[in-house]
Structure 1
Amino acid sequence: MERVDRTPPPADPVPAPDAADAHAAAPLLNCLLREVAEPLPEPAGTPPGGAASRTRRTYRLPGGRLLRVRGTRRPAEPEVYADGRWHRLGHGELVKLTAEVLRRHTGLSNHELPAEMLDSRAALAALLAARARTEPPADPYLRSEQSLVSGHPHHPAPKARGGGPVAGWLPYAPEAHARFPLTLLAVREDQVAEDGDTSALDALGAAPPGYRLLPAHPWQLDLTGADLAPAFADGRLLRLGSTGPTAWPTAAVRTLYAPAADVFVKFSLDVRITNDVRRLWRHDLLRTRRTDEAVARALAAAPGDAAWLSDRGWRTARFAFEELAVLVRDGLRGHTLPGTTPLLAAGLVEGFEGSPLPDAADPAAWWAAYVRAVVPPALTAFADHGVVLEAHLQNTLVAVDAAGTPAQALFRDAEGVKLLPEVSRAAGWERLVYCLVVNHLMEVAGALAEHHPGLDPWPAVRHELAAHGLPEAAALLTAPALPAKTNLLLRWTGADGAAARYRPLPNPLAGP
């Protein structure tokens, strides 16, 4: 086992990492440190948590190598100890180290994931350059959706775009403030498959007699165009041009918001983004109506003003069922409280111009209002209706009033919802705790505390959990650990993207 002097010489002098390196390294380090590393005791005299960003924490990796980083929530400046010195790692060197550690830890090799990590860093460089020359949207909601430069804080390659050329995907990237019209196709009526209310699609244009309108994401057509050539040739599919009003890609990349029509449309993309290839899979589409109706009933009965953005219907072509599928989701104006502005929870964590976090006059009251809006509806849906909301950062909007105070939660995405007893109660509760507490509340609380040092976010969360009366919620207040999803190990071992695996994370709720 390698030993290290606790006061070693400084790291090798190297140029400061560029912005793309820093953005790409932070989530990869979060994964590496959470999933496989062992934190070493901090030396005496280490400043308390408020100064954590100015100190370094040392970790032992599988095999005995030592890694230290600066900061906690978004670790930076990784250094590895070798030959009696600390050596700074750029992102490429960090990827190599991660691959070596995971081969030793799992006994498996993986050539795909390191390439995705490098693709994520290259994508970040392109996104940062594009953001520097484009104006963000004026609407604060759209700014929050398009603010996720770093992206998922615990994924090894959150910005990978399938390894394709930048010119192929950058025009459609929300992080680059993209907006564009939808491509309009028409599918012959005898080739249409659909379910639910799809009338919003027909309002986007006009199809010729004998055909139904089928909007498409232009990037998806670029990816699958050759496969569709026979359908265009024999008349099953027609090109009609494009919509006049523009649509804005949201944080999910493949889901777009059309403000003029106040509707969201979600498409298939044959590209892996984080853990999954982002297709609208047939089995998910076929269960959408039942899942959507279950969530709508659950949230209608929930306390407060929580709302569900319904996945109200879908349409596709029978001969390209998944490739051309489009799902229609409720817009915002019929659901948000008067005088409020919806904001993406993930955007609050990442930060954007106009975010209420930095300027909260009373951060404890702001946080109590946030927790009161988000937690009770999710608990009620689970306890009374057997609905497991995927209430993570990207599927939750929080509407704030004119003072920036949270007033309402809006949840979305039936695809990620689980229903009891399709999953066991224990598995459903574990998933809810991960999505709501670990992925969501811990991240927003951490971002808020960075702006307002000294804030203790956990009493407010304990209060809402204890007030509900749900036995699992009461048990959570004394549990030693929370479930943390292992995205790095999932991807390294080639597990199905939907097959969550968790490792214990110290539970900040189990306090006094």
Structure 2
Amino acid sequence: MERVDPMPPSDDVGQRADAYAAAPLLNCLLREVAQPLPESGERRVYRLPGGGRLLRVRGERRPTEPEVHADGVWQPLGHADLVKLVADELRRHTGVSNDELPIEMADSRDAVAALLTARAGATPPDDPYLRSEQSLITGHPYHPAPKARGGGPVTGWLPYAPEAHARFPLVLLGVREDTVVEEGDTSALDALGTAPPGYRLLPAHPWQLDLVGRELAPAFADGRLVRLGTTAFEAWPTAAIRTLYEPRRDLCLKFSLDVRITNDIRRLWRRDLLKLRRTDTAVTRAFAGIGPSAAWLGDRGYRTADFAFEEVAVLVRDGLRGRLLPGATPLLAAGLAEGFHGNPLAAAADPKAWWEAYLRQVVPPAVAAFADHGVVLEAHLQNCLIAVDASGTPVQALFRDAEGVKLLPDVSPAAGWERLVYTLVVNHLTEIAAALAEHHPGLDPWPAARREIARHRLPEIAALLTSPTLPGKTNLLLRWTGADGADARYLPLPNPLLGG
């Protein structure tokens, strides 16, 4: 089934880019700041408390056609006007000014335009897994600037963009042996080529080398680093952009990338690398007791140089073949919500049964890891793969990214549970449920979700099913007020599980 474009049909790339970029920005504004008014027709109306203005939109999951009421009439807002409105409202609402975020919002919209243009002339991968990873034109549906690429020129980042169906060879470096820092199993890196005597192989992301080239110039000059050409194969960037996959070798590598994407600069930070083995070991042990229908894609180890620890770090992740059930096809959960050619969510002949199968694969591993092993998975859409059988029915969930995992008692049980509820229920299940209901009108996905969650007997579950609210992350306010990207802040959202 072809991808269902949630945006209005138009031959104008600019209008389509406006619509794509406006949807997540509106989602943030409506969730975090605006006050809904009683429904009055096909458009939903909100009051903006900072100045009392009225805003209305069409649709719910991906709101479109924003209009503001001024001078007695409803006036349409293009993306640039919407950015100005949001910035003005946030200044009034928070008392804080921010000159950077509006620029990121505009950059995100311009990136979408560049991606739409590039996709029109690109050939998508044949592999449905790669298609799902490279499908995210909207990206994070509740972030004000999900496609911003650090403000750099399009020519600098577009060759490496998964949304443009990019693929490219890796740069091979030799790092002098006495400067190598590594931990865990990095043997996959040594199979990429041949290093000269006294050196070890270190693959590099070409975009990262462009970004940090000046910092590495002294190391190239004195021989601590040498260039060894490029790999004989091309790798595909996944939804995470800095994580690349080469399917024939089943090779998955994660790199540093000195670019702000959503809330964070995407470096492999020293603090995270140094605790990687402890975290990954804990998650691996947890999944050993969960059962064969769930899998953890472990972060095996990392290699870097002591003089550029974060800048040139590369992390080796488990490939898919050794973790997948026989005959199953993995798909990115975020891609199921976004849509791509061959999306089984859209094509499900029995959406109720499909959803029940989905819940059986996703919910139990995340709950068991927390309840039985003190492991808080970051179970959001981009960190979860759903494997389907030949009929498109979910048969397995695969989780990834040790960097985002929390362990008890490093965080309190209450904080860990709140994080799990946000990533699993609010970020993940809510979005898949909405996409499924959008494709299959009349389906109410929440009774089945409530039944699946209720099967797990722990006090937190009982509280979850009776709470009037769930925690929603405030990405717009977080970015506007300049909070640390890892410092999650939540506001209460209506709980769809209540009485479902």
- Using structure 1 for the length normalisation, give the TM-score: 0.94
The equivalent residue for 1:438 is 426
Paired amino acid for 1:305:
S
> Structure 1, unaligned stretches of length 5 or more?
1-14, 47-54
Paired amino acid for 1:317:
A
Paired with 1:456 and 1:299, the residues of 2 have a C-alpha distance of 31
Q: Find 1:35's aligned residue among 29, 32, 35.
A: 32
Paired with 1:33 and 1:318, the residues of 2 have a C-alpha distance of 46
Q: Mark the CA change 1:203 to 1:17 in structure 2 (over 3 Å): closer, same or farther.
A: closer
Give secondary structure in 2 for the equivalent of 1:468.
Answer: coil
Paired amino acid for 2:441:
P
Paired amino acid for 1:61:
L
Paired with 1:303 and 1:448, the residues of 2 have a C-alpha distance of 27
Give secondary structure in 2 for the equivalent of 1:367.
Answer: helix
CA deviations 1:439-489 (Å, max 9, x no partner) are 000001100111101111112211121111021012111100000000000
Tell me how far 1:261 sits from its aligned partner.
Answer: 1.7
How many pairs were matched up? 488
The equivalent residue for 1:335 is 323
The equivalent residue for 1:235 is 223
> CA RMSD for the aligned pairs?
1.0
Tell me how far 1:260 sits from its aligned partner.
Answer: 2.3
Contact in 1 for aligned 2:383/2:400 (Cα 8 Å): yes
Tell me how far 1:160 sits from its aligned partner.
Answer: 0.2
The equivalent residue for 1:56 is 43
Tell me how far 1:305 sits from its aligned partner.
Answer: 1.2
Paired with 2:13 and 2:333, the residues of 1 have a C-alpha distance of 31
Contact in 2 for aligned 1:465/1:474 (Cα 8 Å): no
Paired with 1:132 and 1:321, the residues of 2 have a C-alpha distance of 39
Paired with 2:351 and 2:291, the residues of 1 have a C-alpha distance of 23
What pairs with 1:124-143 in structure 2 (closer than 5 Å)? 124-143=112-131
Paired with 1:487 and 1:206, the residues of 2 have a C-alpha distance of 45
Contact in 1 for aligned 2:13/2:117 (Cα 8 Å): no
The equivalent residue for 1:485 is 473
The equivalent residue for 1:21 is 18
Q: Identity percentage over the alignment?
A: 77
Paired with 2:291 and 2:447, the residues of 1 have a C-alpha distance of 20
Tell me how far 1:318 sits from its aligned partner.
Answer: 0.5
Moved over 2 A (4+): none
The equivalent residue for 1:346 is 334
Contact in 1 for aligned 2:13/2:116 (Cα 8 Å): no
Paired with 2:123 and 2:48, the residues of 1 have a C-alpha distance of 42
Contact in 2 for aligned 1:434/1:482 (Cα 8 Å): yes
What pairs with 1:253-332 in structure 2 (closer than 5 Å)? 253-303=241-291, 305-332=293-320
Paired amino acid for 1:259:
P
Contact in 1 for aligned 2:242/2:257 (Cα 8 Å): yes
Paired with 1:382 and 1:263, the residues of 2 have a C-alpha distance of 29
1:464 matched to 2:459? The reply is no
Q: Find 1:68's aligned residue among 52, 56, 78.
A: 56
Paired amino acid for 1:143:
R
Paired amino acid for 2:419:
R
Paired amino acid for 1:224:
V
Paired amino acid for 2:18:
D
The equivalent residue for 1:187 is 175
The equivalent residue for 1:88 is 76
Give secondary structure in 2 for the equivalent of 1:284.
Answer: helix
Paired with 2:391 and 2:189, the residues of 1 have a C-alpha distance of 36
> Structure 2, unaligned stretches of length 5 or more?
1-11
1:248 matched to 2:245? The reply is no
Paired amino acid for 2:97:
S
Tell me how far 1:303 sits from its aligned partner.
Answer: 4.3
Paired amino acid for 1:59:
Y
Paired with 1:304 and 1:312, the residues of 2 have a C-alpha distance of 20
Paired with 2:395 and 2:447, the residues of 1 have a C-alpha distance of 19
Paired with 1:148 and 1:218, the residues of 2 have a C-alpha distance of 22
Contact in 2 for aligned 1:306/1:377 (Cα 8 Å): yes
The equivalent residue for 1:3 is none
The equivalent residue for 2:4 is none
Tell me how far 1:258 sits from its aligned partner.
Answer: 1.5
